[in-house]
Structure 1
Amino acid sequence: MTSPILLTGGTGTLGSLVIPLLRDAGRAVRVLSRSSHEPADDVQYVTGDLVTGEGIDRAVRGVETVVHLAGGANGKGDEEATRNLVRCAAHADVRHLVSISVIGADRVPVGYFKAKLAVEQVVAGSGLPWTMLRAAQVHDLILTLMRTMAKLPVIPAPGAIRFQPVDSGEVANRLAELTLGEPAGLVPDLAGPEVHGMADLIRGYLRANGKRRLLLPLPVPGKAGRAYRAGENLSRAGASIGTLTWADFLAARGIGLPGDRTGTGVTTP
């Protein structure tokens, strides 16, 4: 009998999309979660906490492949959580550790990116066979950001910051493919087909929802500003590029971009 695949972050945006793909491939799935869940659709849940280390030994028992998708919104605690996971995985003789990171983890001197780089280094130094996918921010995250910012009476609009958002379903498909394959180390980045300035994203979202807000141009100083202006968080040559645009994503949720079906971005080469 094939051993189950363990997922951390299995109840999140990406994890909830990866699970059915693995199930469709005939693989049993186990999810490590801080909350208790009843088994559903042949998915087993093990209660545990990556930060404290509680329950991880039980979760990795009998597992050959681990997909590590768990992470905090700001990356805080992710390095220690990953250390706890790889320590238990090594003791359990896990043969493949798949992990998600962010494009620019090694180039953008900002806390979140630094935290993701630290996680990458823990995985690469674990002694386990591993695969790492760096992806751009998913559309769902950008939408959450836009909704949050639209609640402000005055919205800061850093001109240096651009995004290349990618569809979460396309990231999940790639993760499932990598999980079912052999360990491959650091694989090509995955980003969306368009680059959007933050100010353009905000304006488009406000127009689509009939909202009016004052946008306050905001410089990004120092090393972080130089990195964003240089596009260090964007894809480079050799990256894999998705097909679903920001406008496609919004349209699927009943949100249109007035007068611009293709969105406010610039298509990348």
Structure 2
Amino acid sequence: MGENVILVTGATGVLGREVLDRARRTGLPVRAMTRRTTLPDDPGVTWVTADLESGEGLDAAFDGVATIIHCASDTRKPKHDIPGWRFLLDAAKRAGVGHIVNISIVGVDRIPYSYYKIKVEGERLLAESGIPWSNLRATQFPALLDTAFGVLSKGPVVPVPSKTVCQPVDPGEVADRLVELAQGAPAGRVADMGGPRVYGATDLARSWLKAVGRRRWILPVRVPGKAGAGFRAGGLVTPENAVGVRTWEDYLAAKPSR
């Protein structure tokens, strides 16, 4: 296997697909990892089957890999992410991987939400692994907000967290940054990455409803506990790192009509 092989985990996900597209453009050998046993015919990419939940197939998948861009995450059963991290790190050590680039979320250390706690633990395991690493925290992807509003708007009222702001960032732009990091030296925790604008949650809901042609009441709801306090304190945004270009309005304008 040639040098400088980049492997992408979670290569079939929203972010993974974007990362894979950017990695292809580098001209470096690229490997994409999936749990699927039927692999796509994808020019310029070597697809491999491996499972982070069990560790099966990781040694073969990582053989000859210089850099891993880790995008895989089980959002439905996030508790699987921690065993997945351990399998990934152990296999990466055996394979002599020289750099792991991880994607995380802005606010994971400020909002005690269960999934965020798992992301923080993953960051800790990486930092303590002894493998050189880079870690990027990004704000919310528009598709996530889109899905949430789609669910919340099924009734006559759309509940949204009160006094909460968000900063949607384009996943393609995050992918650009991850691939840039993968081609550079391990940098530890790098500057957070946010979209170009900060929006109130109610404003996001209002613009989404207009874009999809739905009439609903918007109901600001005070989220209780420390997580709600973190939302209201601006834990989801990084206005000092508003480096994204594509806006929420751009995303809505590109949505197919419903």
Question: In 1, Cα distance between the equivalents of 2:127 and 2:133?
Answer: 7
Equivalent of 1:56, from 49, 55, 58?
Answer: 58
> Are 1:173 and 2:173 an aligned pair?
no
TM superposition shift of 1:73: 2.1
Which residue does 1:35 correspond to in 2?
36
**Structure-1-length-normalised TM-score:** 0.89
Which residue does 2:244 correspond to in 1?
242
Question: In 2, Cα distance between the equivalents of 1:236 and 1:77?
Answer: 32
Which residue does 1:223 correspond to in 2?
226
Provide the alpha-carbon RMSD of the alignment: 1.8
* 1:51-130 matched pairs, under 5 angstroms: 51-73=53-75, 75-130=78-133
Question: In 2, Cα distance between the equivalents of 1:188 and 1:240?
Answer: 11
Are the aligned partners of 1:161 and 1:198 in contact in 2 as well (CA < 8 Å)? Answer: yes
Question: In 2, Cα distance between the equivalents of 1:233 and 1:214?
Answer: 24
Are the aligned partners of 1:136 and 1:234 in contact in 2 as well (CA < 8 Å)? Answer: yes
Question: In 2, Cα distance between the equivalents of 1:190 and 1:249?
Answer: 18
Are the aligned partners of 1:164 and 1:195 in contact in 2 as well (CA < 8 Å)? Answer: yes
Are the aligned partners of 1:164 and 1:196 in contact in 2 as well (CA < 8 Å)? Answer: yes
TM superposition shift of 1:114: 0.9
Contiguous gaps of at least 5 residues in structure 2: none
1:23 is aligned with what amino acid? R
Identity of aligned residues (%): 44
Question: In 1, Cα distance between the equivalents of 2:182 and 2:242?
Answer: 17
Are the aligned partners of 1:139 and 1:165 in contact in 2 as well (CA < 8 Å)? Answer: yes
Which residue does 1:261 correspond to in 2?
none
Kindly tell me: are residues 122 and 211 of structure 1, through their superposed partners in 2, closer, same or farther at Cα, counting changes over 3 Å? Answer: same
Which residue does 2:48 correspond to in 1?
46
TM superposition shift of 1:247: 0.3
1:120 is aligned with what amino acid? E
TM superposition shift of 1:222: 1.8
1:113 is aligned with what amino acid? Y
Structure 1 stretches of 4+ moved >4 Å: none
Which residue does 1:17 correspond to in 2?
18
Question: In 1, Cα distance between the equivalents of 2:141 and 2:212?
Answer: 21
2:18 is aligned with what amino acid? L
Answer 1 or 2: which has greater helix percent.
2
Equivalent of 1:155, from 158, 166, 171?
Answer: 158
Moved more, 200-209 or 104-113: 200-209
